[in-house]
Protein backbone atom coordinates (compact mmCIF):
# COMPACT_ATOMS: atom_id res chain seq x y z
CA UNK A 1 0.00 0.00 0.00
CA UNK A 2 1.33 3.44 -0.92
CA UNK A 3 1.86 5.50 2.20
CA UNK A 4 1.84 9.26 2.12
CA UNK A 5 4.12 9.53 5.11
CA UNK A 6 6.63 7.03 6.40
CA UNK A 7 6.89 6.46 10.10
CA UNK A 8 8.46 4.14 12.64
CA UNK A 9 6.01 1.48 13.84
CA UNK A 10 5.77 0.36 17.45
CA UNK A 11 4.27 -2.96 18.40
CA UNK A 12 0.90 -2.23 20.03
CA UNK A 13 1.19 -5.15 22.47
CA UNK A 14 4.48 -3.88 23.76
CA UNK A 15 3.69 -0.21 24.24
CA UNK A 16 5.12 1.09 27.50
CA UNK A 17 3.21 3.63 29.59
CA UNK A 18 5.61 6.32 28.31
CA UNK A 19 4.65 5.47 24.74
CA UNK A 20 0.93 5.46 25.54
CA UNK A 21 -1.23 8.58 25.28
CA UNK A 22 -4.57 6.98 26.17
CA UNK A 23 -5.20 3.64 27.85
CA UNK A 24 -8.74 2.29 27.48
CA UNK A 25 -9.65 -0.45 29.94
CA UNK A 26 -12.82 -2.56 29.71
CA UNK A 27 -14.69 0.53 28.62
CA UNK A 28 -18.41 0.13 27.93
CA UNK A 29 -21.02 2.77 27.13
CA UNK A 30 -24.81 2.66 27.23
CA UNK A 31 -26.88 5.35 25.55
CA UNK A 32 -30.51 5.41 26.47
CA UNK A 33 -30.08 1.97 28.09
CA UNK A 34 -28.71 0.30 24.98
CA UNK A 35 -25.15 -0.98 24.84
CA UNK A 36 -23.15 1.09 22.33
CA UNK A 37 -19.57 0.13 23.25
CA UNK A 38 -18.74 -3.26 24.69
CA UNK A 39 -15.63 -3.61 26.87
CA UNK A 40 -13.14 -1.81 24.69
CA UNK A 41 -9.47 -2.34 25.53
CA UNK A 42 -6.77 -0.46 23.67
CA UNK A 43 -3.69 1.70 24.08
CA UNK A 44 -3.37 4.68 21.79
CA UNK A 45 0.27 5.45 21.05
CA UNK A 46 1.70 8.85 21.85
CA UNK A 47 2.57 11.21 18.99
CA UNK A 48 1.17 8.87 16.38
CA UNK A 49 -1.93 8.99 14.21
CA UNK A 50 -4.60 6.42 14.98
CA UNK A 51 -7.60 6.00 12.70
CA UNK A 52 -10.98 4.65 13.77
CA UNK A 53 -13.01 2.96 11.09
CA UNK A 54 -16.27 1.05 10.95
CA UNK A 55 -19.84 1.19 9.71
CA UNK A 56 -22.12 4.09 10.50
CA UNK A 57 -23.50 3.64 14.02
CA UNK A 58 -20.75 1.25 15.22
CA UNK A 59 -19.68 3.61 18.01
CA UNK A 60 -16.72 5.59 16.63
CA UNK A 61 -17.92 9.03 17.73
CA UNK A 62 -18.99 7.63 21.08
CA UNK A 63 -15.54 6.18 21.73
CA UNK A 64 -13.75 9.29 20.48
CA UNK A 65 -15.75 11.62 22.70
CA UNK A 66 -15.09 9.34 25.68
CA UNK A 67 -11.48 10.50 25.56
CA UNK A 68 -12.30 14.00 26.76
CA UNK A 69 -15.59 13.33 28.50
CA UNK A 70 -17.68 15.07 25.87
CA UNK A 71 -20.02 12.09 26.03
CA UNK A 72 -21.48 12.87 29.36
CA UNK A 73 -23.14 16.02 28.00
CA UNK A 74 -25.74 13.45 26.96
CA UNK A 75 -28.04 12.81 29.93
CA UNK A 76 -28.86 9.27 28.87
CA UNK A 77 -25.20 8.30 29.11
CA UNK A 78 -23.86 5.50 31.31
CA UNK A 79 -20.45 3.83 31.25
CA UNK A 80 -18.19 1.37 32.99
CA UNK A 81 -14.45 0.83 32.82
CA UNK A 82 -11.63 3.34 32.60
CA UNK A 83 -9.94 5.78 30.28
CA UNK A 84 -6.45 6.61 31.51
CA UNK A 85 -4.34 9.60 30.60
CA UNK A 86 -0.92 9.98 32.18
CA UNK A 87 -1.75 7.08 34.48
CA UNK A 88 -4.91 8.74 35.80
CA UNK A 89 -8.50 7.63 35.18
CA UNK A 90 -10.10 10.73 33.64
CA UNK A 91 -13.49 9.65 35.03
CA UNK A 92 -12.27 10.08 38.60
CA UNK A 93 -14.47 12.37 40.66
CA UNK A 94 -11.82 15.05 41.12
CA UNK A 95 -10.93 15.37 37.44
CA UNK A 96 -10.81 18.99 36.22
CA UNK A 97 -12.89 18.50 33.09
CA UNK A 98 -12.25 21.98 31.65
CA UNK A 99 -8.51 21.41 31.91
CA UNK A 100 -8.89 17.93 30.42
CA UNK A 101 -10.72 19.35 27.39
CA UNK A 102 -7.97 21.93 26.85
CA UNK A 103 -5.42 19.15 26.80
CA UNK A 104 -7.58 16.85 24.69
CA UNK A 105 -9.05 18.97 21.89
CA UNK A 106 -11.89 17.82 19.69
CA UNK A 107 -13.29 18.60 16.29
CA UNK A 108 -16.86 17.32 16.04
CA UNK A 109 -18.45 15.48 13.16
CA UNK A 110 -20.78 18.43 12.51
CA UNK A 111 -18.91 21.75 12.45
CA UNK A 112 -20.09 23.89 15.34
CA UNK A 113 -18.85 27.45 14.86
CA UNK A 114 -19.94 29.79 17.63
CA UNK A 115 -22.23 32.69 16.65
CA UNK A 116 -19.43 35.25 16.65
CA UNK A 117 -16.74 36.46 14.28
CA UNK A 118 -14.22 34.21 12.58
CA UNK A 119 -11.47 35.83 14.65
CA UNK A 120 -13.30 35.36 17.96
CA UNK A 121 -14.07 31.74 17.13
CA UNK A 122 -10.38 30.95 16.77
CA UNK A 123 -9.30 32.75 19.95
CA UNK A 124 -12.32 31.70 22.03
CA UNK A 125 -10.40 29.20 24.16
CA UNK A 126 -7.44 31.54 24.57
CA UNK A 127 -9.70 34.28 25.94
CA UNK A 128 -11.16 31.80 28.42
CA UNK A 129 -7.58 31.14 29.52
CA UNK A 130 -7.28 34.89 30.19
CA UNK A 131 -5.03 35.66 27.23
CA UNK A 132 -5.81 39.14 25.94
CA UNK A 133 -2.63 40.49 24.40
CA UNK A 134 -3.74 41.57 20.92
CA UNK A 135 -0.51 40.89 19.03
CA UNK A 136 -0.29 37.38 20.45
CA UNK A 137 -3.93 36.64 19.65
CA UNK A 138 -3.46 38.01 16.10
CA UNK A 139 -0.47 35.74 15.60
CA UNK A 140 -2.20 32.62 16.89
CA UNK A 141 -5.34 33.33 14.85
CA UNK A 142 -3.28 33.73 11.67
CA UNK A 143 -1.11 30.63 12.26
CA UNK A 144 -4.09 28.46 13.18
CA UNK A 145 -6.08 29.58 10.15
CA UNK A 146 -3.07 29.06 7.88
CA UNK A 147 -2.53 25.55 9.24
CA UNK A 148 -6.19 24.75 8.72
CA UNK A 149 -5.90 25.94 5.09
CA UNK A 150 -8.45 28.72 5.59
CA UNK A 151 -6.39 31.90 5.97
CA UNK A 152 -6.35 33.01 2.34
CA UNK A 153 -10.12 32.74 2.08
CA UNK A 154 -10.93 34.70 5.23
CA UNK A 155 -8.05 37.10 5.91
CA UNK A 156 -10.04 40.01 4.52
CA UNK A 157 -13.12 39.32 6.63
CA UNK A 158 -11.90 38.09 10.00
CA UNK A 159 -14.55 40.10 11.81
CA UNK A 160 -17.51 38.79 9.82
CA UNK A 161 -19.75 36.19 11.41
CA UNK A 162 -18.45 32.64 11.23
CA UNK A 163 -22.00 31.50 10.48
CA UNK A 164 -21.71 33.01 6.99
CA UNK A 165 -18.93 30.58 6.03
CA UNK A 166 -19.64 27.59 3.78
CA UNK A 167 -19.82 24.10 5.31
CA UNK A 168 -16.27 23.21 4.29
CA UNK A 169 -14.98 26.56 5.56
CA UNK A 170 -16.74 26.01 8.88
CA UNK A 171 -15.10 22.60 9.12
CA UNK A 172 -11.67 24.19 8.68
CA UNK A 173 -12.57 26.98 11.12
CA UNK A 174 -13.32 24.51 13.91
CA UNK A 175 -10.02 22.75 13.14
CA UNK A 176 -8.27 26.14 13.52
CA UNK A 177 -10.12 26.73 16.79
CA UNK A 178 -8.87 23.40 18.14
CA UNK A 179 -5.30 24.06 16.94
CA UNK A 180 -5.17 27.47 18.64
CA UNK A 181 -5.06 25.75 22.03
CA UNK A 182 -2.17 23.46 21.07
CA UNK A 183 -3.75 20.33 22.53
CA UNK A 184 -1.56 17.37 23.47
CA UNK A 185 -4.18 15.05 22.02
CA UNK A 186 -6.41 16.01 19.11
CA UNK A 187 -9.61 14.09 18.38
CA UNK A 188 -10.89 14.57 14.84
CA UNK A 189 -14.30 13.20 13.88
CA UNK A 190 -14.45 13.05 10.08
CA UNK A 191 -12.58 16.35 9.71
CA UNK A 192 -12.48 16.34 5.92
CA UNK A 193 -15.93 15.00 5.09
CA UNK A 194 -17.01 18.32 3.53
CA UNK A 195 -13.73 19.19 1.82
CA UNK A 196 -12.53 18.91 -1.78
CA UNK A 197 -9.58 16.61 -2.56
CA UNK A 198 -6.93 19.34 -2.56
CA UNK A 199 -8.02 20.87 0.74
CA UNK A 200 -8.29 17.35 2.16
CA UNK A 201 -4.68 16.72 1.19
CA UNK A 202 -3.66 19.94 2.94
CA UNK A 203 -5.42 18.85 6.14
CA UNK A 204 -3.79 15.41 5.91
CA UNK A 205 -0.38 17.08 5.62
CA UNK A 206 -1.22 19.21 8.64
CA UNK A 207 -2.18 16.09 10.63
CA UNK A 208 1.15 14.55 9.75
CA UNK A 209 3.00 17.70 10.83
CA UNK A 210 1.11 17.73 14.13
CA UNK A 211 2.44 14.29 14.96
CA UNK A 212 5.75 15.78 16.13
CA UNK A 213 3.99 17.26 19.13
CA UNK A 214 0.51 15.79 19.20
CA UNK A 215 -1.31 12.48 19.43
CA UNK A 216 -4.03 12.43 16.78
CA UNK A 217 -7.08 10.16 16.73
CA UNK A 218 -9.12 10.49 13.56
CA UNK A 219 -12.46 8.96 12.61
CA UNK A 220 -12.89 8.55 8.90
CA UNK A 221 -15.19 6.78 6.46
CA UNK A 222 -12.56 7.16 3.80
CA UNK A 223 -10.48 4.00 3.76
CA UNK A 224 -7.86 5.53 1.48
CA UNK A 225 -7.50 8.38 3.94
CA UNK A 226 -7.07 6.02 6.88
CA UNK A 227 -4.45 4.04 4.96
CA UNK A 228 -2.70 7.23 3.81
CA UNK A 229 -2.44 9.17 7.03
CA UNK A 230 -2.61 6.82 9.98
CA UNK A 231 0.08 4.77 11.69
CA UNK A 232 -2.48 2.56 13.46
CA UNK A 233 -6.08 1.69 12.73
CA UNK A 234 -8.85 0.24 14.79
CA UNK A 235 -11.90 -1.41 13.26
CA UNK A 236 -15.09 -1.32 15.31
CA UNK A 237 -18.23 -3.29 14.56
CA UNK A 238 -21.48 -2.95 16.52
CA UNK A 239 -19.69 -1.56 19.54
CA UNK A 240 -16.94 -4.18 19.60
CA UNK A 241 -13.27 -3.71 18.86
CA UNK A 242 -12.69 -6.29 16.12
CA UNK A 243 -9.14 -5.51 15.07
CA UNK A 244 -6.46 -3.01 16.02
CA UNK A 245 -3.04 -2.98 14.45
CA UNK A 246 -0.59 -0.94 12.46
CA UNK A 247 -2.41 0.43 9.41
CA UNK A 248 -0.23 -1.33 6.86
CA UNK A 249 -1.16 -4.73 8.29
CA UNK A 250 -4.81 -3.87 8.82
CA UNK A 251 -5.30 -2.65 5.26
CA UNK A 252 -3.12 -5.17 3.43
CA UNK A 253 -3.60 -8.37 5.44
CA UNK A 254 -6.41 -8.01 7.96
CA UNK A 255 -6.47 -10.79 10.54
CA UNK A 256 -10.27 -10.98 10.82
CA UNK A 257 -12.81 -11.74 8.14
CA UNK A 258 -15.09 -8.93 9.36
CA UNK A 259 -12.29 -6.41 8.86
CA UNK A 260 -11.58 -7.73 5.41
CA UNK A 261 -15.26 -7.57 4.45
CA UNK A 262 -15.43 -3.98 5.61
CA UNK A 263 -12.29 -2.70 3.94
CA UNK A 264 -13.08 -4.44 0.67
CA UNK A 265 -16.53 -2.85 0.70
CA UNK A 266 -18.56 -6.02 1.17
CA UNK A 267 -20.65 -4.20 3.73
CA UNK A 268 -20.85 -0.73 5.26
Ligand X SMILES: Nc1ncnc2c1ncn2[C@@H]1O[C@H](COP(=O)(O)OP(=O)(O)OP(=O)(O)O)[C@@H](O)[C@H]1O
**Of 108 and 251, CB closest to Mg ion:** 108
Where on the phi/psi map is residue 200: left (φ > 0), alpha (ψ -120 to 50), or beta? Answer: alpha
Considering only 20, 62, 71, 225, the residue that binds ligand X (CB under 6 A) is: 62
Query: CA 208 → CA 4, 138, 213, 242, distances in Å?
Result: 9, 25, 10, 26
Count of beta carbons in the 10 Å neighbourhood of residue 257:
10
DSSP-derived letter for residue 240 is E
* SS (HEC) of 72-100: HHCCCEEEEEEEEECCEECCCCCCCHHHH
CB of 267 to Mg ion, least distance (A): 17
Which residues, numbered 87-146, are part of the site for ligand X (CB under 6 A)?
109
Query: CA 113 → CA 61, 118, 192, distances in Å?
Result: 19, 8, 16
**Of 76 and 94, CB closest to ligand X:** 76
Considering only 45, 59, 111, 254, the residue that binds ligand X (CB under 6 A) is: 59
Choose one: 4-12, 30-38, 39-47, 121-129; the region binding ligand X (CB under 6 A): 30-38
CB of 109 to ligand X, least distance (A): 6
200 touches ligand X by CB under 6 A: no
CB of 155 to ligand X, least distance (A): 33
Considering only 23, 43, 60, 202, the residue that binds ligand X (CB under 6 A) is: 60
Number of residues that bind Mg ion (CB under 5 A): 2
Pairwise CA distance, residues 268 & 263, whole Å: 9
Going by their DSSP bridges, the two strands 232-237 and 240-246 should be labelled as antiparallel
Burial 203-231 (b: 16+ CB within 10 A, else e): bbebbbebbeebbbbbbbeebebbbbbbb
61 touches Mg ion by CB under 5 A: yes
Choose one: 106-114, 196-204, 229-237, 244-252; the region binding Mg ion (CB under 5 A): 106-114
32 touches ligand X by CB under 6 A: yes
**Of 126 and 236, CB closest to ligand X:** 236
CB of 76 to ligand X, least distance (A): 5
Catalog residues that contact ligand X under the rule CB under 6 A. Answer: 31-32, 36, 54, 56-62, 74, 76, 109
Can you give the binding site for Mg ion, defined by CB under 5 A? 61, 109
Amino acid sequence: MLKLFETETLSLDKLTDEQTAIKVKDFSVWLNNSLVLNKINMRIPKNKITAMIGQSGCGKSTLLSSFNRMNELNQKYAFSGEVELDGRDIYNKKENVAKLRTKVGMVFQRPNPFPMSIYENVCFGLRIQGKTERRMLDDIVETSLRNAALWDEVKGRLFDSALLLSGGQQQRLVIARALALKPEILLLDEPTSALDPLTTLHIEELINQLKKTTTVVIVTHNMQQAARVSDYSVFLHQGELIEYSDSDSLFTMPAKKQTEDYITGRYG
